[in-house]
């Protein structure tokens, strides 16, 4: 019998790509989904679905018979009002999932963290897994919650569990159903709704390489270690120029002064949101955009064999996926 993998977060961007890879590699998959979740990303796949939440007390029963766990699920929000929800799902949820895995006899767990938990170095200087921003310097409660969730994983390792931590950077590619913030940038570019750009930078990677990195971490990763799953560091300006080369649409020519989105976000979250108006611009998101979030994935490349698919391929496939599914008029 092939290995049975339990996957949380399978309906999301990374999870949907991971499940497809697992099935291609001969794994059987049991995916936990929340009641009422949209299942479009899993349609047509030979996956056993079980309903549940990260903080359920009976997760070990739902994992029964599985040999490995991929804990991909997380709550993502940059709104300060979602602080309690972020810690409830990302920290307490991770603690509960890992405890359930131990009770269920799961042999090995891959925990999907994020480079958000690592933080950023000096402007424009890539950092690796050995680097750690002080937790009080991490911008926003999402980043802080992912840092604290990593501590839960390390505590599980200290009690004897086999847990490998992977830290994806910014994935690009198909099945970005929500979409992610980066997918939203691509969509706004395609819709010609991006008049300017911010002086910021990110590390980008094909989402299918992120999925492969999870499987490689299962096969080769060292328990207790973190592995950055990343590829190419690019400024947002260069990223948009790459999109322009691919699509033929002009890239934004002018940089937006940082104070402008910061002021808009402050008004949104501090003044309008308390009055019942849904905010459009997260304050923490603007603060993050003032940083160059560059990373060095050499450890995952050298130890795991993390693939480095050209960014152009990921962009081309992301654009095609959005267009084919009607995201762009």
Cα separation, 239 vs 244, in Å, equals 9
The three-state secondary structure class of 291 is coil
Cα separation, 121 vs 101, in Å, equals 34
User: Dihedrals φ, ψ of 219, to 5°?
Assistant: -80, -35
- Token couple for 47: 């996956």
Distances (CA, A) of 203 to 39, 171, 225: 29, 9, 20
Provide CB contacts within 8 A for 78, sequence distance 6+.
140, 142, 282, 283, 284, 285, 288
Task: Give the β-pairing of 170-172 and 201-206.
Answer: parallel
CA angle 301-7-160, nearest 5°?
70
Other beta carbons less than 10 A from residue 69's beta carbon? 27
CB 188 within 8 A of CB 194: yes
Provide CB contacts within 8 A for 261, sequence distance 6+.
198, 281, 286, 289
CB 161 within 8 A of CB 102: yes
The three-state secondary structure class of 232 is strand
- Token couple for 176: 């970005």
Other beta carbons less than 10 A from residue 175's beta carbon? 25
Task: Find the catalytic residue in 27, 111, 142, 294.
Answer: 142
CB 169 within 8 A of CB 228: yes
Closest CA to 90 of 39, 177, 11, 152: 152
Q: Which residues pair with 246 in a beta bridge?
A: none
142 catalytically annotated: yes
Give the catalytic positions in this structure.
142
């Amino acid at each position: 019998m092939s290995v049975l993998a339990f996957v949380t977060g399978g309906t999301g961007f990374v999870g949907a790509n991971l499940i497809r890879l697992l099935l291609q590699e001969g794994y059987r998959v049991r995916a936990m989904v929340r009641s009422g979740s949209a299942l479009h990303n899993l349609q047509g796949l030979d996956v056993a679905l079980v309903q549940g939440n990260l903080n359920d007390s009976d997760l070990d029963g739902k994992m029964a018979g599985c040999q490995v766990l991929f804990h991909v699920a997380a709550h993502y929000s940059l709104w300060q009002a979602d602080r309690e929800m972020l810690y409830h799902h990302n920290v307490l949820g991770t603690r509960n999932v890992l405890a359930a895995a131990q009770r269920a006899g799961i042999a090995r767990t891959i925990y999907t963290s994020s480079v958000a938990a690592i933080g950023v170095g000096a402007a424009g200087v890539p950092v690796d897994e050995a680097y750690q921003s002080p937790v009080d310097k991490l911008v926003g409660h999402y980043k802080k919650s992912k840092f604290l969730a990593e501590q839960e994983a390390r505590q599980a390792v200290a009690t004897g569990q086999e847990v490998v931590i992977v830290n994806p950077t910014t994935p690009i590619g198909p099945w970005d159903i929500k979409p992610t913030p980066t997918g939203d940038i691509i969509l706004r570019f395609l819709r010609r709704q991006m008049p300017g750009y911010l002086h910021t930078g990110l590390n980008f990677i094909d989402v299918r390489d992120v999925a492969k990195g999870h499987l490689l971490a299962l096969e080769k990763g060292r328990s207790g270690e973190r592995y950055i799953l990343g590829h190419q560091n690019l400024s947002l300006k260069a990223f948009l120029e790459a999109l322009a080369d691919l699509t033929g649409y002009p890239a934004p020519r002018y940089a937006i002064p940082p104070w402008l989105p910061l002021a808009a976000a402050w008004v949104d979250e501090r003044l309008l949101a308390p009055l019942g108006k849904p905010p459009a611009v997260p304050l923490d998101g603007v603060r993050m955009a003032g940083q160059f979030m560059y990373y060095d994935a050499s450890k995952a490349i050298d130890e795991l064999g993390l693939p480095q698919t050209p960014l152009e391929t990921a962009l081309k496939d992301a654009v095609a996926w959005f267009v084919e599914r009607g995201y762009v008029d």
